[in-house]
């Protein structure tokens, strides 16, 4: 049995299995998160895992690969997510720290499946990989949320180019945790097209829901709008099961109870970055 | 009529909401927020078959409101909850 230990989002992660563990550790950035063995979650890569008989609750096409995914609950009470041609991920709520998945040869799919497995396993620890681009400024993280193609990465790049001391923490999926003393964003091995893998964490100063507009405007959102801004950025596998949704709602309540959420209507220009920066850090003239 | 028990009311940072699951995975979430009287009616009548008269009774029991006003509010409340799919036949 091959074993690799990592620390992702401050949580110990152990991959166990065969050659797929080696492949997993060769994914971009993954080795930078190697850490000592510790209590935490286990993702077991098991080539013998098969698709059971399930009541399928949801079917969707995976953006990254176009593979068809199904999500459902099996007769054994476990949750199953099936990717394309019968590759499967199994989550057992009675053992939430241990997730099993099929073995994968395709690195892109493996990356996505590990992200999904991690997201399921850490949810009960009030941690979620949130689809976002995150910039750090003055020791605090600002998270840009939005649909694919709305300009999250563009906006964080504009911060890096125009705001003194700003740098990118992660460009696709930082780990966000609600902790005793606040909300934190951690770098992760999942950073989209931008290889930005930082084993660091910062308190979250604000969330920005990015919307393209012909002029730059910013407004702080109330609780309900803040919820609808953040919820779609949580992993899709968590949206189709009551138990996952309960935990996700608890997590979102923790985040939006502590951190302001803004809607930023913006152009892809430096003025947009200055507007959001001055609003969040309260330096607006 | 009755409340659809698949539409679960959840508390998010002090607000009572129902998350309406869309059929696809576009990055949109629709939620319905329940105000105080909607929440009261939901709490009292969930899990039961009820009529507009029952809703009127919940409102007149809880609030100092005359029957006619309560009936108007109850009808509007039922219509909007039915419209959002919270109430089914």
From chain A, pick out residues whose CB is under 8 angstroms from the CB of B15: 223-224, 227
What are the tens digits of pLDDT across the range A90-115?
999 899 999 999 988 888 888 988 99
Give residue B3's pLDDT band: very low, low, confident or very high (50, 70, 90): very high
CATH number reported for the structural domain that contains residue B49 in this entry: 1.10.10
> What's the pLDDT score for residue A72?
85
Among the partner residues B10, B13, B31, nearest to A256 by beta-carbon distance: B13
The span from the CA of A209 to the CA of A8, in Å, is 25
Report helix, strand or coil for A206: strand
CATH number reported for the structural domain that contains residue A270 in this entry: 3.40.50
Q: Between β-strands A87-91 and A79-83, what pairing exists: parallel, antiparallel or unpaired?
A: antiparallel
* A136 and A120 within one domain: no
- Mean of pLDDT over chain B: 90
* A35 and A140 within one domain: no
Q: Which residues pair with A132 in a beta bridge?
A: none
C-beta atoms of A240 and B29 within 8 A: no
The span from the CA of A125 to the CA of A112, in Å, is 21
* Interface ipTM: 0.82
> What's the pLDDT score for residue A258?
95
pLDDT, mean of residues A50-59: 78
Q: Which domain holds residue B10?
A: 2-88
- Mean of pLDDT over chain A: 91
Among the three residues A125, A144, A174, which one is the final residue of a domain in this structure?
A125
> What's the pLDDT score for residue A284?
61
pLDDT, mean of residues A133-159: 94
What are the tens digits of pLDDT across the range B13-35?
889 999 886 655 455 678 899 99
Q: Which two tokens stand for residue A165?
A: 């001391």
CA end-to-end distance (rounded Å), chain A: 60
Measured from the Cβ of residue A148, the count of other Cβ atoms closer than 10 Å reads 10
Among the partner residues A148, A223, A246, nearest to B13 by beta-carbon distance: A223
Distance (Å) from the alpha carbon of B64 to chain A's nearest alpha carbon: 29
By the 10 Å C-beta count (0-12 exposed, 13-18 middle, 19+ buried), B23 is classed as exposed
Is A99 domain-assigned?
A: yes
Measured from the Cβ of residue A267, the count of other Cβ atoms closer than 10 Å reads 15
* A231 and A136 within one domain: yes
Taking alpha carbons only, the member of A251, A224, A18, A249 closest to residue A127 is A251
Is A141 domain-assigned?
A: yes
> What's the pLDDT score for residue B23?
53
Closest residue in B to A63 (Cα–Cα): B25
Q: Which domain holds residue A217?
A: 129-280
> What's the pLDDT score for residue B14?
87
From chain B, pick out residues whose CB is under 8 angstroms from the CB of A228: 28-31
Interface test with B, best of A81, A222, A231 (most B CBs within 10 A): A231
The span from the CA of A110 to the CA of A83, in Å, is 10
Interface test with A, best of B29, B30, B32 (most A CBs within 10 A): B29
DSSP assignment of A58-105 equals EEEE-TTT--EEEEEEETTS-EEEEETTTEEEEE-TTSTTEEEE---S
Among the three residues A108, A125, A142, which one is the final residue of a domain in this structure?
A125
* A133 and A110 within one domain: no
pLDDT, mean of residues A246-275: 95
Residues 6 or more apart whose CB falls under 8 angstroms from that of A227 comprise: A252, A256, B12, B13, B15, B17, B29, B31
Element (H, E) at A279: helix A270-280
* A180 and A93 within one domain: no
Where does residue A71 fall: left (phi above 0), alpha (psi -120 to 50 degrees), or beta otherwise?
beta
* A139 and A224 within one domain: yes
Give me the number of domains chain A comprises.
2
Give me the number of domains chain B comprises.
1
Among the partner residues B13, B29, B33, nearest to A232 by beta-carbon distance: B29
- Whether residue A71 is predicted with pLDDT greater than 90 in this model: the reply is no
* A274 and A134 within one domain: yes
* A137 and A50 within one domain: no
Give residue A54's pLDDT band: very low, low, confident or very high (50, 70, 90): confident
Is A111 domain-assigned?
A: yes
* A144 and A115 within one domain: no
The number of residues making up chain B comes to 89
> What's the pLDDT score for residue A122?
95
> What's the pLDDT score for residue A90?
92
Give residue A156's pLDDT band: very low, low, confident or very high (50, 70, 90): very high
pTM attached to this predicted model: 0.90
* A92 and A70 within one domain: yes
């Amino acid at each position: 049995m091959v074993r690799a230990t990592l620390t992702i989002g401050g949580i110990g992660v152990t991959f166990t299995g065969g050659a797929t563990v080696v492949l997993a550790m060769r994914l971009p950035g993954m080795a930078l998160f190697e850490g000592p063995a510790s209590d935490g979650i286990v993702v077991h890569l098991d080539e013998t895992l098969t698709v059971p008989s399930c009541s399928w609750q949801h079917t969707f096409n995976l953006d990254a690969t176009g593979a068809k995914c199904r999500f459902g609950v099996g007769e054994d009470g476990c949750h199953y997510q099936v990717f394309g041609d019968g590759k499967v991920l199994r989550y057992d709520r009675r053992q939430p720290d241990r997730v099993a998945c099929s073995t994968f040869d395709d690195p892109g799919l493996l990356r996505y499946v590990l992200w999904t497995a991690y997201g399921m396993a850490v949810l009960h620890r009030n941690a979620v990989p949130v689809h976002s681009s995150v910039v750090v400024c003055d020791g605090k993280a600002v998270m840009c949320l939005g649909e694919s193609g709305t300009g999250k990465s563009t906006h964080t790049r504009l911060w890096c180019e125009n705001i003194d001391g700003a740098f990118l923490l992660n460009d696709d999926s930082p780990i966000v945790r609600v902790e005793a003393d606040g909300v934190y964003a951690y770098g992760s091995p999942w950073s989209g097209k931008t290889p930005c893998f930082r084993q660091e964490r910062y308190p979250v100063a604000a969330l920005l829901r990015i919307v393209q507009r012909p002029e730059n405007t910013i407004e702080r959102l109330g609780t309900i709008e803040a919820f609808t801004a953040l919820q779609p950025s949580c992993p899709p596998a968590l949206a189709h099961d009551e138990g996952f949704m309960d935990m996700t709602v608890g997590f979102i309540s923790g985040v939006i109870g502590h951190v302001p959420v803004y809607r930023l209507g913006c152009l892809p220009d430096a003025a947009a970055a200055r507007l959001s920066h001055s609003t969040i850090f309260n330096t607006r003239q | 009529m009755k409340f659809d028990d698949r539409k679960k009311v959840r508390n998010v940072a002090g607000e009572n909401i129902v998350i309406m699951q869309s059929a696809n995975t576009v990055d949109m979430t629709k939620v319905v927020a329940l105000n105080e009287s909607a929440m009261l009616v939901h709490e009292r009548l969930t899990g039961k078959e009820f009529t507009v008269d029952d809703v009127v009774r919940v409102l007149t029991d809880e609030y100092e409101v005359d029957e006619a006003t309560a009936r108007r509010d109850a009808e509007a409340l039922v219509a909007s909850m039915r419209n959002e799919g919270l109430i089914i036949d």
